[in-house]
Structure 1
Amino acid sequence: MKFDRHPTELLIVLVVFLRSHAHPNSNNEPVEAPRSPWPRPDAAVMETVQTYISWGSSAGQATPDCKRFLATFGANRSWESPFTSNEFMEYDIEGACNRLAMNLSWRVASLDAGQYLYPLYSQHLGMESYWKVGFVWNAVGGAKNLSHVFNRKEYNFTIITVLWLQVYPNNKSYIFNAVDVFWPDAEATFPTTLTNMVDNYVSFLGGNCKTWAELFWRDVGMVTVSGEDTGYYGPTGLTEYCSKMVYMWSSYVHDVDDMSYSVDIYSSTVEKVAFTWTRTGVYLGRVRTDEILTVFYIRSAPTPKADLKIFIAWDFLQPPMEEASLMT
């Protein structure tokens, strides 16, 4: 059983090998694919995302359209981002957008390659009216005249954003809460402490589940996985989740892609870590690949060294059809 990081070439070889040894379906008749009970991010959600990252700008426009931006949010709304200027929580969405518009001379925004949206559905969050979607995007812009944005004349950031969407009676999803994870003053090299935390999380420390649970904060750490009907809470729940994953995935390789983090402006400590990654391997005897976006909420542990620990981990991914159908 291996959960170590491997080069991309080995990942490709593994997938080819596993597929070549998979048992063929003895029934050659077409089989109707199982239907997922989860809503997939559709064109309407993609339009909401595009409007969000452009701050309401229409195609070809370089400045925000704050009324159009506000229209993507529901009645109860909040925006958490360094772009809001207070970097904490902004409820006056249009006002924060207008302040940006006054200070920007030009701006473009684009989704990551493939325009991939990572959903999260969780019954204990009330999936009938709320769900989340995460994505990676790039923001490029400049400041007007002698003004500055993040103490610079120009900026170019890779951002990981999570939108908490509320489904209204018209079956349209509006933004309830938006969170941009990035840190304008971040160095080019990702902090080693956070890189190690990410690697230890995705590898399950080679199946050492008791030690893996120690990545989390005291007795209240938690993991929530898209499609699961409950979260895994505390040392017992976290060890249970790790053991379950080690059992179900007899082997897999993983590759971490984009990584970002944000910092609490009051304590200057890391507050959130977000990253995208791919997991490919043998899941219950079948080849499977998961595209995942994970978000950590971080707290400093009450130790003399004030070590950073995971408070909550969210795994965003589209649940496989066969698993989703079992939950209905």
Structure 2
Amino acid sequence: MNRIFSGIQPTGNLHLGNYLGAIRNWVMLQNDFECIFCIVDLHALTQPQDPAELRASTREVTAAYIAAGINPERCIIFNQSMVSAHTELAWLLGCLTPLGWLNRMTQFKEKAGRNREMAGLGLYAYPVLMAADILVYKATHVPVGEDQKQHLELARDIAGAFNRRYEREFFPLPEPQIFGAATRVMSLRDGTKKMSKSDSSDYSRINMTDSAEVIALKIRRAKTDPEPLPADVAGLEYRPEADNLIGIYAALSNLSREAALGRFAGRNFAEFKDTLSELATDVLGRIGGEMRRLMADPGYIDAVLRKGAERAAAVAEPVMREAQEISGLLRP
């Protein structure tokens, strides 16, 4: 069976974009793939983190996975730092990765900003650890958004470099599992920017733990324009906020944008927002309630992570041992 690997950083409130862009799709994938879903806490350390908040966020992401419908008995759910093979393989792969490949990574340039000389090695080498995350399980498919597509291409290049160096087809070249543009959720305050947990305004996003009242309030306050909704998608081209809200409605109701507009063409945003609020609170309200219930029992969450780490290590450690032997390293 084909194997999926993917993960989310525990760096703050999970939001509607995380759900529609990733977690909801993973729920569907678990029926057709062997799935490994990680909370990538080592990646989170590439930016300063409060230790207590990092632990709490790790449990929150775990709760979100389970509350959304990912079955911890069917899938492997664990946090990255519990399986040492990730960092061990990252060193082997880093020794094969030319600096020129890493210098092309646009996400490092964006996150490091103008102060690149003070950026940490972890941020620079992030794509190598991501490659190790994938390859240590010999994953065949990786669900990625557009912002991670370049990193997956690098993971394929690194896998190929290892295979060529040691003249064997050891690592598969993982394929991207990319979901459509309808899952790209933008800020409720600026339709040209991606919805983000780092945005200073909480009204820019719908958090997965928001109450029904808060979700409705945020949708009512979402930025729009004075024109009625158009009859076709072409009419959304220069209306980013309208396009975003229609995209959210379409994704939550499992409709195309065209079908969603067919229901609301010519109507004003007040009517549309009422309907969108009902839909969003129905979907996310149930998930948020279950998340809060799960987070009230940290012992259960920690047990899921421990069991998941044991299962993950059972897959990763034999791959790691063989990679070390192939590389010429003596083992006890």
Q: TM-score range by the shorter chain?
A: under 0.3
More strand per residue: 1
TM-score w.r.t. structure 1 length?
0.26
Which fold has the larger relative contact order, with Cα–Cα distance below 8 Å and residues 6 or more apart in sequence?
2
